[in-house]
Amino acid sequence: MKEDSLEIGGVKINCRLFVGTGKFPSHQMMQEVLLAAEAGVTTVALRRVDSGAKADNILDYIPSGCKVMINTSGARTADEAVRIARLARAAGAGNWIKIEVIADNRYLLPDNLETLKATETLVKEGFVVFPYMSPDLSVARRLAECGAAAVMPLGAPIGSNRGLKTKELVAIMIREIKAPIIVDAGLGKPSDACVCMEMGCAAVLVNTAIAVSRNPVDYARAFSQAVQAGRLAYLSGLAESVDEARASSPLTGFLHNED
Amino acid sequence: MKEDSLEIGGVKINCRLFVGTGKFPSHQMMQEVLLAAEAGVTTVALRRVDSGAKADNILDYIPSGCKVMINTSGARTADEAVRIARLARAAGAGNWIKIEVIADNRYLLPDNLETLKATETLVKEGFVVFPYMSPDLSVARRLAECGAAAVMPLGAPIGSNRGLKTKELVAIMIREIKAPIIVDAGLGKPSDACVCMEMGCAAVLVNTAIAVSRNPVDYARAFSQAVQAGRLAYLSGLAESVDEARASSPLTGFLHNED
Amino acid sequence: MKEDSLEIGGVKINCRLFVGTGKFPSHQMMQEVLLAAEAGVTTVALRRVDSGAKADNILDYIPSGCKVMINTSGARTADEAVRIARLARAAGAGNWIKIEVIADNRYLLPDNLETLKATETLVKEGFVVFPYMSPDLSVARRLAECGAAAVMPLGAPIGSNRGLKTKELVAIMIREIKAPIIVDAGLGKPSDACVCMEMGCAAVLVNTAIAVSRNPVDYARAFSQAVQAGRLAYLSGLAESVDEARASSPLTGFLHNED
Amino acid sequence: MKEDSLEIGGVKINCRLFVGTGKFPSHQMMQEVLLAAEAGVTTVALRRVDSGAKADNILDYIPSGCKVMINTSGARTADEAVRIARLARAAGAGNWIKIEVIADNRYLLPDNLETLKATETLVKEGFVVFPYMSPDLSVARRLAECGAAAVMPLGAPIGSNRGLKTKELVAIMIREIKAPIIVDAGLGKPSDACVCMEMGCAAVLVNTAIAVSRNPVDYARAFSQAVQAGRLAYLSGLAESVDEARASSPLTGFLHNED
Amino acid sequence: MKVRINGSDEIISEKLITLQQLIKDRGLSPKQVVVEVNLQIIPWEQWPQITLQDKDSIEIISFVGGG
Amino acid sequence: MKVRINGSDEIISEKLITLQQLIKDRGLSPKQVVVEVNLQIIPWEQWPQITLQDKDSIEIISFVGGG
Amino acid sequence: MKVRINGSDEIISEKLITLQQLIKDRGLSPKQVVVEVNLQIIPWEQWPQITLQDKDSIEIISFVGGG
Amino acid sequence: MKVRINGSDEIISEKLITLQQLIKDRGLSPKQVVVEVNLQIIPWEQWPQITLQDKDSIEIISFVGGG
């Protein structure tokens, strides 16, 4: 599958499983997970720090070859997201940005309009922009047209592990939008990720399901295998289903003397 | 995952993907698929032969290390299934038998009662018996009690590629029956197989979806990865889902001066 | 819809919603529910009684025009079910019998083989027999052939309110079996009942969802309306679905000067 | 259920089934359908007319007591939608407007941003505005805040009859938005409408499924019953589902001497 | 005299007791129950003629709500 | 005189023609249509007073079934 | 001599023919098939000793792909 | 001198204090944080030259796990 690697913003990404770094018990565990998953991309957030208690920098634990994307979590408006992106770049974290603008406290659903505004601004400033959004073809098309590197619809609310509950809308986006579609948020089981890849998603982003697992390293490895399986099935062409049965074994003329 | 290998009838099976040999364009292609899938078990059928046109024996194409199971397809009664099993053993094909007794021509659904009868007889005769059945806890329990090596409920009609349409009943069987549960028939996509394994199935048996694929070898490999992924996820413990969202990133006290 | 009434065992049943009498807070409430639902059939069970504490007889609360069917709950074998049926008839409760033979304590799933045996015996004795069963075409066919008045597959475990989780198998039974198919057990919402009727079920039997409702009378009425809606839709022919959109309004040549 | 009537824009609507007038073979048939459904609201569109071939006015066939809502189908931008709304009002069709702004030709999905713009403008001009939109909480919230009379997310693409494929997002909108939520487009079966109402939708709008039915009048009646059933179930409180079974009949101490 | 009623043994002091009496003693009415003696169903008309014997096994059953 | 009607150009021979006349010529009744001239909606009461000018853009619209 | 082979009747001219010969005539190899005569499975070692009788019912079976 | 740090007001006794010093006092290392003063991001090379003014608004940010 060498030739199938994903290229975004001039970077070649070998694994289509993206893994977030939130909620891990330790930087060490997070590192093991990223290695086990062979994650192609990871996400990191920013936060105010008042004193130097925790002296070590999470970025030092990201395996080389795992591309870092800064997410703007905490932003409630396009302006705040833009400000976080600039801070991240100034801090030397590069120019890959996951735009996450959330105004809803219960379901943490993204604000599509503010997300679109932030995308327009940051693309102009030379960022490689990955907007996290609520699946909607009209907004997805605008995001792609204004230069988003990929469009990232949610599968279900962040951290809910409910799986791909937005399949219908995501499938339409895949068919209609040229930009890569990456399902982000809500995937709880490897089979959920497999389904996304079978449909033709370019990648999936998983965090909570792995981070809160009893065995994060194995669970991450399982997701990684499932993503490969789904991608390979997509490239091979999915088997289409039929209503009735089709024999896979010879059923005729055997042992029945009347035959 | 060495320690996780499946042991049935004293045989250690390293891969939980079983692949049937029906409908392949050639024995060579079938062989490539079994190798690519690293199939732990394969199925072969019997049929009357009138002249020696096709001189080569399909059994010669089964990779060593892939256990052969003879299926009784074509049987409409327990007696016919028993007779086929004896013929197969006499022909040197070993004593692993998939009991397939079908009386329904449109959906090819198994006849649970005849299947139970055949299982009782063949177990007594020393066969290692794998009954293909319509998911029903009461029959599954009897099959297990009379010594079936595993119980094989259908996911959907044979060759339909519809996926695991019997999830509710299969999940109950997994919980209540000690014998290994192997979903057979109807799985069309790797994600279908992944779901079965995540639920705790011991293995899955796939044929049509792979044999009729545009790229049988890759599609088989995808199934194999998905089965591993699902099994590993099952062993790791599945993430449980919740209704609302749970933040995977810090959302508080950032850039909001009111905080 | 007069002409659509269901006829079973020579009895004309005007409402295709059957309602069980278990778990109601009082006979009065049960009676109100049966009246509100206009239930065509109801079920009653038998139990040992040691003293005359509760002097009134539940049968006295069944509205006239609501046919009584005795269920054999408590039976673990065909013999016990047969014995209960005879007791019921001797007690003047008529000859309509719902065969419920359960050996599984957690999911209360029926024992298809014992159920088939009891059906054969009771049909010979002149009972009108309604076997509750786990959906399996081969057993359903035998039940119909030996004279069951209807076949009653479960939708989900008794009292689980999980809905029609056995849709695939029930749909096949409807297509292949001439006897009326009545989904019994597991329906929790009126929409579940509506789906069953749209598929072509002859009726549905509901108890727990109504009896444990905050408002049993209204909830029963809702089920009754949903059953009528589903039946009428089935008779009208269901709309078939398509993948893409089809305009329901004029989209062309309006306000666009280029047109 | 008198007290449950829906009030929108000061108008009391007695039936929560809204029926569109597109695709009917004749005005007479459409009228029969509206009467059979007792539709509370209906939709009508505008189109250029070049000659007086068809002399009769569709509005003359709308039953009194069925509120007319003009839809802006054909509009590709907010400006066009606004222009159509003004034309409609000038033509004496009243001030109830369904905003339908579509830029996607294959799936006919709405353009949420243009829809929001048109809503803001028309509300200011005193229209009672019903925006048809792609389910997205952030846009729904803005629509409600700027004064939309209701928010109308799609269930599936227009005319696809695929059912409520956006359940997850619509359920969140119902929980978070104060304005009435009305599912519009894609509902193909009465059970689909029943599910929407059980969830707490204020109403549903159906057109294609009824208009293309073999028996539009009966199919409309079925939808009407299903909507009532779902609404009543919602008001009664839905039964919650459980994993295991709960006996609805006495299972203990009967005929088993060991008891 | 020892009889089995609804699955549990009971000692009955009376030498002679009819089924009629037994049911009456328990405050049960014919309308409401059906009685089986040694697997034989006894129509209530016959209750007065039936006298219990030692080791008889009796089931007294009535109707209850069920699904 | 060249006017644009429902998006397509038409040549009108008459020097003087009212909106009233135009609609009548097309066999349309006021009950049934609404007319817009150069993006201005013209109530039917005013049709007799409105005479078409060269390059006028006219929309004649009526109601149809729609979802 | 009339025998039934794989469910269809066949006339065999030879008076004496062994199972060995029958299989050979059909271009089949022992490796590849299993033979049942009158519901009895005949191991290939015995084929040379078995001569067909009138009305014998013979099944010649081999392996094929199956699910 | 009153400054706003990470959204909360703080009184700083020193008359003259550089950004360099402020960060150092808090036990933070340049590797680890990025600093914004009055919405301007200050590269760590410039920290020694920047002296805090009354009413300055300072954000000190670092990286954490996020999804």
The model's pLDDT over B161-187, given as tens digits with 9 standing for 90+, comes to 999 999 999 999 999 999 999 999 999
Q: Which chain F residue's Cα is nearest to D27?
A: F65
| C153 or D245, greater pLDDT | C153
**Residue C238 predicted with pLDDT over 80:** yes
User: Could you tell me if E27 lies within 8 Å of chain D, comparing CB atoms?
Assistant: no
pLDDT of C259 reads 39
Across the interface, of C74, C194, C251, the residue whose CB is closest to D254 is C74
**Residue A258 predicted with pLDDT over 50:** no
- At D196-237, the pLDDT tens digits run 999 999 999 999 999 999 999 999 999 999 999 999 999 999
Q: How confident is the model at residue B54 (pLDDT cuts 50, 70, 90)?
A: low
Mean pLDDT for chain B overall: 91
Contact between D14 and D39 (Cβ < 8 Å): no
Q: How confident is the model at residue C100 (pLDDT cuts 50, 70, 90)?
A: very high
Q: Which chain A residue's Cα is nearest to D104?
A: A138
| H8 or D165, greater pLDDT | D165
Residues of D in contact with F26 (CB under 8 A): 50-52
Residues of chain B numbered 91-110 and touching chain A (CB < 8 Å): 100, 102, 106-109
- At G9-39, the pLDDT tens digits run 989 888 889 999 988 888 888 777 888 899 8
| C223 or E23, greater pLDDT | C223
**Residue B48 predicted with pLDDT over 90:** no
Residues 6+ apart with CB under 8 A from A177: A137, A140, A141, A144, A151
* Contact yes or no for G41 and B43 at CB 8 A: no
- At A74-129, the pLDDT tens digits run 999 999 999 999 988 888 889 999 999 998 888 999 999 999 999 999 999 999 99
Q: Which residues pair with H47 in a beta bridge?
A: none
CA dist C103 and C105 (Å) reads 6
User: Could you tell me if G6 lies within 8 Å of chain A, comparing CB atoms?
Assistant: yes
Q: Which residues pair with F8 in a beta bridge?
A: F5
Mean pLDDT for D239-257 is 74
Provide the Cα torsion H40, H44, H48, H50; round to 10°. Answer: 0
Q: Which residues pair with B19 in a beta bridge?
A: B42, B206
* Contact yes or no for E62 and C208 at CB 8 A: no
| A156 or B250, greater pLDDT | A156
Compute CA distances D114 → B230, D79, D82, D111, D153, whole Å: 44, 8, 10, 6, 15
DSSP B33: H
Across the interface, of G7, G64, G66, the residue whose CB is closest to A257 is G7
**Residue B221 predicted with pLDDT over 70:** yes
pLDDT of C246 reads 84
Residues of C in contact with F58 (CB under 8 A): none
CA dist D135 and D131 (Å) reads 11
Residues of D in contact with E66 (CB under 8 A): 248-250
- Cα–Cα–Cα angle for H56, H58, H63, rounded to 5 degrees: 175
Identify the active-site residue in A98, A124, A165, A189: A98
Q: Which of A18, A106, A158, A248 to mutate to test the interface with B (most CBs of B within 10 A)?
A: A248
Mean pLDDT for chain A overall: 91
Q: At what angle do helices B27-37 and B216-236 cross, to 10 degrees?
A: 30
Portion of chain E with pLDDT greater than 70, in percent: 100
Q: How confident is the model at residue B259 (pLDDT cuts 50, 70, 90)?
A: very low
Identify the active-site residue in B2, B23, B98, B189: B98
Q: Which residues pair with C75 in a beta bridge?
A: C101
Length of chain G: 67
- At B136-170, the pLDDT tens digits run 999 999 999 999 999 999 999 998 999 999 999 99
- At A21-62, the pLDDT tens digits run 999 999 999 999 999 999 999 999 998 887 765 567 888 899
* Contact yes or no for C107 and B166 at CB 8 A: no
Q: How far is B79 from chain A (nearest CA, A)?
A: 10
**Residue C2 predicted with pLDDT over 60:** no
Portion of chain C with pLDDT greater than 90, in percent: 77
Burial E7-44 (b: 16+ CB within 10 A, else e): beeeeeeeeebbbbbbbeeeebeeebbbbbbeeebbeb
* Contact yes or no for F33 and D91 at CB 8 A: yes
φ/ψ of H35, rounded to 5, equals: -120, 135
Q: What is the pTM of this model?
A: 0.91
Lowest-confidence region among B60-64, C242-246, D50-54: D50-54
| C79 or B54, greater pLDDT | C79
Mean pLDDT for B89-93 is 84
Mean pLDDT for chain C overall: 91
DSSP string, C90-139: HTT--SEEEE-BB--TTT--B-HHHHHHHHHHHHHTT-EEEEEE---HHH
- At E41-65, the pLDDT tens digits run 888 889 999 999 999 999 888 888 9
- At D46-63, the pLDDT tens digits run 988 877 655 678 888 999
CA dist A36 and A26 (Å) reads 15
Residues of D in contact with C157 (CB under 8 A): 244-245
Q: How far is C222 from chain F (nearest CA, A)?
A: 28
pLDDT of D258 reads 44
pLDDT of D201 reads 97
* Contact yes or no for F26 and D51 at CB 8 A: yes
* Contact yes or no for D113 and A142 at CB 8 A: yes
Q: Which chain D residue's Cα is nearest to A115?
A: D138
Portion of chain A with pLDDT greater than 70, in percent: 94
User: Could you tell me if E36 lies within 8 Å of chain C, comparing CB atoms?
Assistant: yes
Pinpoint the alpha helices (H) of D177-247.
Answer: 190-199, 208-211, 216-236
Mean pLDDT for chain D overall: 91
Q: How confident is the model at residue B5 (pLDDT cuts 50, 70, 90)?
A: confident
Mean pLDDT for A227-256 is 84
Contact between A48 and H59 (Cβ < 8 Å): yes
pLDDT of C255 reads 66
pLDDT of A253 reads 52
**Residue H1 predicted with pLDDT over 90:** no
Across the interface, of B44, B51, B55, the residue whose CB is closest to G65 is B44
3-state secondary structure of B210: helix
Identify the active-site residue in D12, D23, D67, D98: D98
pLDDT of F62 reads 87
CA dist C247 and C241 (Å) reads 14
Highest mean pLDDT among D51-60, E26-35, F33-42: F33-42
CA dist D220 and D200 (Å) reads 21
* Contact yes or no for B215 and A208 at CB 8 A: no
C98 is catalytic: yes
The pair of three-digit structure tokens given for residue A58, joined into one six-digit string? 């999470």
CA A51 to chain centroid: 33
* Contact yes or no for B21 and G62 at CB 8 A: no
- At C14-38, the pLDDT tens digits run 899 999 999 999 999 999 999 999 9
CA dist A117 and B167 (Å) reads 44
| A208 or D9, greater pLDDT | A208
pLDDT of D2 reads 47
Mean pLDDT for B80-98 is 91
Residues 6+ apart with CB under 8 A from F64: C250, D44, D45, D46, D47, D58
Residue A7's CB is within 10 A of a number of other CB atoms, namely: 9
| A248 or D86, greater pLDDT | D86
Residue D245's CB is within 10 A of a number of other CB atoms, namely: 24
User: Could you tell me if E45 lies within 8 Å of chain C, comparing CB atoms?
Assistant: no
Identify the active-site residue in C2, C23, C54, C98: C98
**Residue E35 predicted with pLDDT over 70:** yes
pLDDT of E33 reads 85
Lowest-confidence region among A156-165, C83-92, D241-250, G35-44: D241-250
| C112 or A53, greater pLDDT | C112
* Contact yes or no for E67 and C20 at CB 8 A: yes
Highest mean pLDDT among B8-17, C112-121, D49-58, D81-90: C112-121
Nearest to H36 by CA among H3, H2, H1: H3
Q: How far is C53 from chain D (nearest CA, A)?
A: 18
* Contact yes or no for B259 and H7 at CB 8 A: yes
Lowest-confidence region among A66-70, B33-37, B45-49: B45-49
DSSP string, D77-135: SHHHHHHHHHHHHHTT--SEEEE-BB--TTT--B-HHHHHHHHHHHHHTT-EEEEEE--
With touching defined as 3 or more inter-chain CB pairs under 8 Å, the answer for chains D and A is yes
pLDDT of D252 reads 56
